[in-house]
């Protein structure tokens, strides 16, 4: 009983989704007495659903620990995974008598199916162990809901500003370890990037049409962000009409293509009553040991440069010739209409 209470405490001590998944996988592996465990994260693009191998235990296995494997369409996945996905219920399997048994547990966040826990066993999983794993999944579900309530912008459903530092530090730490002090060619090699996006002349939208329509623009703008970026990219609303994107494992050229695609999607979208709006975006590439405030400041300067040069554009800080005027960055009250 003491071990079970410790497991619950370990789970609710974690405050981010990646850490929660890793802790959940370890606890489920121990409670089930499994030989191996794979955590599959569920992704959706349009009407199609995919599985991506996220965690493998024990970590002594090839690819153990965190392992962002290739996406597998659910339709092409192993039968137990397909059945668990379709039924949203625990699915057991054993190919032949004497073979290892297995069990797939669906992992939920609210009513959404977030992932699948695939556990291979030396023998059938008894009811007591099924109940223990199922109970831990309910604790995970409740804790995730509480975290998302605290960490989510109420209007748009994006992450809020209070979550930024933790997500940023995780990305920079991974970036620092990956580079290991070696020189990287920015044009070719994958790295992480931060962008600050600001809706142009948003104050005029609120003044002309009223705040309810302004709020609708923000909600639809957030939807365009979700549709334009990858599942693993971190999207934030910092407040008002200011949004932030953290993109990892992407070459700078590909990142700029993604930000330009988003800018064009906003420009082409017909917002109800309001019509067309545009967005200006400042981008910077992250460095090993970067601080969130420093990276945000660089992207913010690029954003100001984009506003200064006519708005409705994407500018990369790293390629700008930053003048003293832009170094001072923030306009005075008389200049606030720039934004």
Orientation angle between helical segments 2-13 and 127-151, nearest 10 degrees = 30
Is the Cβ–Cβ distance between 228 and 197 less than 8 Å? no
Place of tokens 């826990």: 117
Instruction: Using alpha carbons, select from 248, 217, 242, 218 the residue that is nearest to residue 230.
Output: 248
Is the Cβ–Cβ distance between 194 and 286 less than 8 Å? yes
CB-based burial, 189-210: b 16+ in 10 Å, e otherwise: eebbbbbbbbbbebeebbeebe
How many whole angstroms separate alpha carbon 106 and alpha carbon 108? 6
Check residue 29 and report its DSSP letter: H
- Which residues are known catalytic residues? 241
How many whole angstroms separate alpha carbon 73 and alpha carbon 91? 19
Q: Which residues contact 128 (CB under 8 A, 6 or more apart)?
A: none
HSE-up of residue 111 (Cα within 13 Å, Cβ side): 0
How many whole angstroms separate alpha carbon 282 and alpha carbon 162? 21
Instruction: Retrieve residue 167's tokens.
Output: 């997500």
Nearest-5° Cα angle at 322, 316 to 326: 105
């Amino acid at each position: 009983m003491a071990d079970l209470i410790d497991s619950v405490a370990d789970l609710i001590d974690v405050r981010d989704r990646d850490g929660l998944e890793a802790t959940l996988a370890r606890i489920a592996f121990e409670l089930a007495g499994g030989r191996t465990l794979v955590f599959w994260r569920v992704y959706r693009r349009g009407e199609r659903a995919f599985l991506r191998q996220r965690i493998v235990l024990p970590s002594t296995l090839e690819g153990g620990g965190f392992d962002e494997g290739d996406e597998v369409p659910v339709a092409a996945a192993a039968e137990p995974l397909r059945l668990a996905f379709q039924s949203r219920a625990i699915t057991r399997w054993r190919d032949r008598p004497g073979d290892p048994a297995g069990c797939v547990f669906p992992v939920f966040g609210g009513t959404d199916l977030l992932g699948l826990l695939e556990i291979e066993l030396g023998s059938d999983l008894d009811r007591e162990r099924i109940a223990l794993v199922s109970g831990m999944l309910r604790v995970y579900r409740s804790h995730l809901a509480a975290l998302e309530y605290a960490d989510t912008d109420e209007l748009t459903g994006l992450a809020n500003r209070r979550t930024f530092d933790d997500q940023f530090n995780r990305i920079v730490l991974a970036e620092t370890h990956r580079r290991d002090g070696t020189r990287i060619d920015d044009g070719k090699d994958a790295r992480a990037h931060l962008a600050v996006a600001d809706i142009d002349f948003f104050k005029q939208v609120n003044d002309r049409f009223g705040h309810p329509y302004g709020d609708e623009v923000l909600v639809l703008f957030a939807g365009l962000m979700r549709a334009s970026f990858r599942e693993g990219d971190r999207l934030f609303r910092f407040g008002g009409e200011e949004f932030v994107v953290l993109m990892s494992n992407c070459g700078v050229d590909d990142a700029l293509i993604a930000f330009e695609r988003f800018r064009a999607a906003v420009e082409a979208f017909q917002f109800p009553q309001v019509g067309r709006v545009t967005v200006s975006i400042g981008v910077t590439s992250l460095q090993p040991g970067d601080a969130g405030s420093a990276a945000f400041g660089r992207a913010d300067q690029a954003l100001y440069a984009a506003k200064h040069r006519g708005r409705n554009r994407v500018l990369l800080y790293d390629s700008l010739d930053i003048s003293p005027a832009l170094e001072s960055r923030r306009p005075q009250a008389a200049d606030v209409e720039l934004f």
